[in-house]
Amino acid sequence: MPKKQIHLAAHFPGVNNTTVWSDPESGSQTDFASFVAFAQNAERGLFDFLFLAEGLRLREHQGRIHDLDVVGRPDTFTVLNAIAAVTTHLGLGGTINTTFNEPWELAKQFASLDHLSGGRAAWNLVTSSDAFTGENFRRGGFLEPAQRYDRAQQMLDAARELWLADGRPIDHHSAQFDIVGDFPIPPTPQGHPVLIQSGDSDQGREFGAKTADAIFSRHGSVEDGQAFYADLKGRMGAYGRRPEEITILPATTFALGDTEAEAQENGHRIRTAQVSPQTAIAFLEQVWGRDLSAYDPDGPLPDVDPDPGAQITRGRVRHEKDPLAVAQRWRELAEAKGGLSIRELIIETTAHQSFVGTPKEVARQMDDYVQADASDGFILIPHLTPGGLDEFVEKVVPELQDLGSYRTEYAGPTLRDHLGLARP
Amino acid sequence: MRTAHLAVEVSGFGRHPEAWRQAGVPREALLTPAHHIAVAQLAAQSGADFVALPDSFGAGSGLDAVAIAARVAPVVPGIGLVPTVTTTHTEPFHTSKAIATLDLVSSGRAGWEPAVSRTAGEAAQFGRKPAAEPAELWREAAETIEVVVALWDSWEDDAVIRDVATGRYVDRDKLHYVDFSGEFFSVKGPSITPRSPQAHPLIVLRAEPDSLAVAARWADVVRITAPDLSAAHAARERIRAAVTDAGRDPDAVAVLLDVEILLAADENAARRRFDELGELAEETLRVVGSPEAFVDVLAEGAVDGVTAIPLTLPGGLRVLADEVAPRLLAAGLRTPADPAATLRERFGLPRPANVLTGA
Ligand SMILES: Cc1cc2nc3c(=O)[nH]c(=O)nc-3n(C[C@H](O)[C@H](O)[C@H](O)COP(=O)(O)O)c2cc1C
């Protein structure tokens, strides 16, 4: 039996503290030249697709714009269409919110991207519904979290009907949408764009199992990854789908070196740069829900408890559901590790790389991970823009190819070809 | 003699609804990037200041105009790209970042033609609100333009500081909430996209009965239609007066006349081609004739320039590039464009001050 193949996607480093903007090699996050360099390198590395995240409002921390991380990004559709002009095979994946868009317009935009790229478009459907983001839109913050996947599903149903209408008139009605008309764009080279899903709740996983071609997950460790993989693929049968119809891709970071020791050192250097003293305090404040600016980042954790109700950061997905439990866990960890400082603790808990080692070793780790069904591949998030994947493409990709787990050429021009997906 | 501006409008296989019969390729060619690149290249070779890419949510519309502009921008240098983005159903926040990003990927060659969606059919595709009267649609368009411009300015040019000592990537004092609240919507801001190369991409507006006040307040370029040059000249005077009344410098607003063109070696050849296509209602001044006949329209100087609308594409642009462009240069009606110039620079407009900071 041929070996299970690894899929790779390239996350253009965006708005988060992964990006080490303080590094002298860090270029612009927004100049088109950065996108060209990044995309062309990913295509040299035979990646399935380039991936863009999205946030529709600048994050705030303690009521003011968060100023410690990279911020600012171009419009997803516009930049992906431009990238289509400087690449030939690379898939173009955009995160587009289902709450603050309308099906007709979105279907037209994705159909245009798929036609103009020769069949390389993908849509990561996200559902964030918070009123904070809604303040930038006519819709406002009208959607309860419980309804957001209903709207996502109805949005997708409507978009799919438009994409596949092929001249037939549309008369579509759901709780969220009433759409009547003739969609002017014929079905695209891929039939319609590839669908990616990334929410992690029970509802999110059901939505993914039912609809997605690929999943962007956060489950990094082998055990965690295997559990998620089994859970998600296990849900597909209920929808008459086979496990291989979904490609599961966790967010992955890495650090390389010519020797194991050098890789560890590089990893440590990157982690330290990702968590500046100010970032360490801001992270802690997010969990504590309090102003902790009086605390020394190189000192011990605060002895006050978190305020469980308070949420002092807005505009970013909250991953910590129970602050008191987190604080408890962190205190124990700091003590177990011989009294970590605030900054050391934050580095320990938020900024570890998924894979560290020589290119050969990283390739082997990734291959083991995928062969163990902890995922089908990875969405790589490099710490530098735009050159953060250069060394990976140059050195790790050939090792993966040597292991027989990675393509040596694209099977065809469309993203569906790369993912082995049938036309809808 | 002052020089004239030249723009071209391209959509489908040309303005004439039967033009696709002459194109020699299937209609599906309009879905390919090759078609749009070829057309934009011809428009650039004709020396035009910008190519206008009409769009709507109406029947007969094609691919998204911003998408087309972005797709051609990296491979077709030296020409402005002005897609239409309508204001009636699209979120202003989305429009703002899309046009700013077009400016980014084209190194300062973006423009925006705001337009309204009048029909019940378009409204039914969105199902959010019924169709409205033009006066109301243009009030909404005015709000949209105001908030889009404010969002363009919601980042000062030097907001990104990358200050390692304090750990700050941006100076948040240089990011601004727009706090817009109007009759139709409210937008908090700031944009998620930094201020673009031109700061304010060129704003192009069509003169319609209900759009005059909006154009007077916001347009860098006003597109007019007129049956003849004297009517065009009168329209230009009206627009300049309205711009003056709005407290702006009328010399900073160019008035371009739409001119439908079907050009051939001589008038007889052009006429024959036109007859083959079939009768067509005249929407504005039309030149069916020789390259000289078109040059004569610009030489008249009734307006600040012309938007040439070929009845057939891409052939209509080939004549413009091969035959008309050299004649315009020779006559001193056009000067060779600096290929590195931004679209605003082509119109002699400065990079604007920031409306939110006044700095
Ligand atoms: C790995 C991952 C990446 C995500 N990326 C984005 C993003 O770029 N933009 C966004 O608005 N939401 C993003 N989300 C949020 C999800 O789409 C979803 O709205 C959120 O996780 C809440 O849904 P849930 O409760 O099902 O997880 C992401 C979620 C995950 C797990």
Q: Which residues of A touch B127 (CB under 8 A)?
A: 177-180
Amino acid at residue number A161? E
pLDDT band with cut points at 50, 70 and 90 for residue A16:
confident
Which B residues in the span 156-195 are in contact with A, Cβ-Cβ below 8 Å?
160, 162, 164, 166-172, 175, 184-190, 192-194
Which chain A residue lies closest to B121 (C-alpha atoms)?
A: A181
Q: How many whole angstroms separate alpha carbon A281 and alpha carbon A295?
A: 8
In sign, the C-alpha dihedral spanning A101, A104, A105, A106 is positive
What's the whole-number average pLDDT of chain A? 95
What is the percent of chain A where pLDDT is above 90? 88
Place of tokens 């003056």: B244
- Residues of chain B with Cβ-Cβ distance to A166 below 8 Å are none
Indicate the pLDDT class of residue A197, thresholds 50, 70 and 90: very high
| Chain B residues touching residue A81 (CB < 8 angstroms) | 66-68, 70-71
Mean pLDDT over B294-308 rounds to 97
* Cα distance between residue B325 and residue B108, in whole Å: 23
Cross-chain CB nearest to B185 (options A104, A116, A138) = A138
CA dihedral A161, A165, A169, A170 (to 10 degrees): 10
Q: Quote the Cα angle for A397-A400-A404, to 5°.
A: 135
Residues 180-199 (A) with a CB less than 8 A from some CB of B = 180-182, 184-186
Report the pLDDT value the prediction gives residue B8, as an integer from 0 to 100.
98
Compute the Cα dihedral for B97, B102, B106, B108 and give only its sign. negative
CB-based pocket (< 6 A), ligand 1: A 53-55, 95, 97, 126-128, 198-201, 203-204, 216-218, 251, 317
Sorting pLDDT into bands at 50, 70 and 90, what band is B1?
low
Q: Are B305 and B6 in contact (CB under 8 A)?
A: yes
User: Cβ of A239 under 8 Å from any chain B Cβ?
Assistant: no
Q: Which among B27, B32, B64 is the top mutation candidate for probing chain A, defined by the most A β-carbons within 10 Å of its own β-carbon?
A: B64
N residues, chain A: 424
CB A100 within 8 A of CB A134: yes
- The 10 Å CB-count burial string (b at 16+, else e) for A111-132 is bbbbbbbbbbbbbbbbbbbbeb
For the segment A26-46, the average pLDDT, to the nearest whole number, is: 97
Per residue in B113-140, pLDDT (tens digit) is 999 999 999 999 999 999 999 999 999 9
pLDDT of residue A91: 98
ipTM of the assembly? 0.98
Residues in a beta bridge with B80? B50
pTM over 0.80: yes
Q: Residue B359 has what pLDDT?
A: 47
pLDDT of residue A321 exceeding 80:
no
- CB atoms B64 and A118 under 8 Å: no
CB contact under 8 A, B71 and A84: yes
Three-state SS for chain B is CCCCEEEEECCCCCCCCCCHHHHCCCHHHHHCHHHHHHHHHHHHHCCCCEEEECCCCCCCCCCCHHHHHHHHCCCCCCCEEEEEEECCCCCHHHHHHHHHHHHHHCCCCEEEEEECCCCHHHHHHHCCCCCCCHHHHHHHHHHHHHHHHHHHCCECCCCEEEECCCCEEECHHHECCCCEECCCCEECCCCCCCCCCCCCCEEEEECCCCCHHHHHHHCCEEEECCCCHHHHHHHHHHHHHHHHHCCCCHHHCEEEEEEEEEECCCHHHHHHHHHHHCCCCCCCEEEEECHHHHHHHHHHCCCCEEEEEECCCCHHHHHHHHHHHHHHHHCCCCCCCCCCCCHHHHCCCCCCCCCCCCC
Cα dihedral A25/A30/A33/A39 (nearest 10) = 90
> Could you read off the pLDDT of B232-245 as tens digits, one per residue?
999 999 999 999 99
pLDDT in tens, A262-282: 999 999 999 999 999 999 999
**A139 alpha carbon, distance to own chain's centre:** 25
Count interface pairs A-B at CB distance under 8 A: 182
What pLDDT is recorded for position B358?
61
pLDDT per position as a tens digit, A232-252: 999 999 999 999 999 999 999
Judged against a pLDDT cut of 90, whether residue B60 lies above it is answered with no
Question: CB-based burial of residue B194 (10 Å sphere; 0-12 exposed, 13-18 middle, 19+ buried)?
Answer: buried
Could you tell me the end-to-end alpha-carbon distance of chain B, in angstroms, rounded to an integer? Answer: 35
Q: What is the pLDDT of residues A360-374, one digit of tens each?
A: 999 999 999 999 999
Whole-number Å distance between alpha carbons of B172 and B188: 15
Task: Report the C-alpha gap between B84 and A186 in whole angstroms.
Answer: 21
Residue B7 has pLDDT above 70, yes or no: yes
Residue A299, class by beta-carbon neighbours within 10 Å (0-12 exposed, 13-18 middle, 19+ buried)? exposed
> Per DSSP, what are the bridge partners of residue B50?
B7, B80
pLDDT of residue B238: 98
Q: Which residue has the higher pLDDT, A122 or B281?
A: A122
Look at B160 and B355; give whichever has higher pLDDT. Answer: B160
Which one of A81, A86, A190 makes the best mutation probe of the B interface by having the most chain B beta carbons within 10 Å?
A81
